[in-house]
Amino acid sequence: MLGIWKSEMERIWNRKSTYLLYVAYILIIVATIWSHKITGTKVFRFGEGTMVVNNLNLPWLMMSEVALFLTTAMLPILYVDQLGGDLHSGAYRLYVIRPYRRFQFWLAKLLALSVTTIIFLGTSLLIGVIAGWWLFPHSSTFLKYGSSVTSTSSDAIPYVLAFYLVLTIVCLAKLVLSSVICLFISRPLFSYIVIIFSSAFLFQLFRPLIMLMDPFREILLALNVDNSLKFWVSVGGMIVICVIISFTRWQKKII
């Protein structure tokens, strides 16, 4: 199983498209940070007001725009390229003939894409922390999203880590949704379009699922315990349902 996972990681990172997406993602992060450096403030997109940017809050404040690009465009493009691309081209027929159980190949591919997703998010976190330390005013306090109570610097690390952990879970929900769609619609362009429209449709059915398109605000609300139940039910239910459908469809797919 470890060997299959390593093979899938190599397949992902041997493609030029992956590096292009990764470089584009870094450029978006840098552009977002530079815009905050110029203005010195962050204006929230949903009318919650303005917040002064400092070294403690930059790593999560910058993700308002970055997470939108990530979940709407970059990760779905990566997912359909790796999942739908192999299915549409027929390349998957070559590696399922190896002496492993069939579900192990699909699991290894999803795990490899999960690790790649973590690499993207880890890059965001690393750049945000370094930029906050070197480019922004240092502060001993900050305000959590939606709170009027000042938090100390000791609260900054767990808050940032919690944000990125939940964002990772949301991205994995997008991954398993993409895996389902790619198994039914393998042509990458068409599957990408369906992923976008299905994310919008699911959001209309259940408000917290807007996280599949624009997760920033929903994640920060979920970090408030009083607002977390609907979020965790929706993201947990999405992952469980999509995993069941994805593996069932993969097992039945004709080679």
Give the model confidence (pLDDT) of 114-149 as tens digits.
999 999 999 999 999 999 999 999 999 999 998 888
User: Residue 99's pLDDT band (boundaries 50, 70, 90)?
Assistant: low
The pLDDT value recorded for residue 35 is: 96
What was the pLDDT predicted at 228? 82
What is the percentage of the chain residues whose pLDDT exceeds 70?
A: 91
Is the pLDDT at 255 greater than 60, yes or no? no
The answer to whether 84 and 187 have CB atoms below 8 angstroms apart is yes
Domain range for 91 is: 2-252
Check whether 31 has a pLDDT greater than 90: yes
For the ranges 31-35, 84-88, 179-183, 219-223, the maximum mean pLDDT occurs at: 31-35
Query: H-helix or E-strand containing 249?
Result: helix 229-252
Please, what is the average pLDDT of the chain? 89
Q: Higher-confidence residue: 98 or 180?
A: 180
- Kindly provide the b/e burial profile for residues 194-222, where b requires at least 16 CB atoms within 10 angstroms of the residue's own CB: bbeeebeebbeeeebbbbbbbbbbbbbbb
| pLDDT of 88 over the 70 cut | no
pLDDT for residue 62 is more than 70: yes
- What per-residue confidence (pLDDT) applies to 242? 95
Q: Express each pLDDT in 208-228 by its tens digit.
A: 888 999 999 999 999 986 668
Domain count, the chain: 1
This prediction has a pTM of 0.92
Cα distance between residue 124 and residue 168, in whole Å: 12
Q: What is the mean pLDDT of residues 157-166?
A: 97
The answer on pLDDT for 56 being more than 90 is yes
Residue 49 has φ and ψ, to the nearest 5°, of 110, -160
What beta strand segments (E) does 114-164 contain? 141-143, 150-152
d(CA 16, CA 161) in angstroms, rounded, equals 30
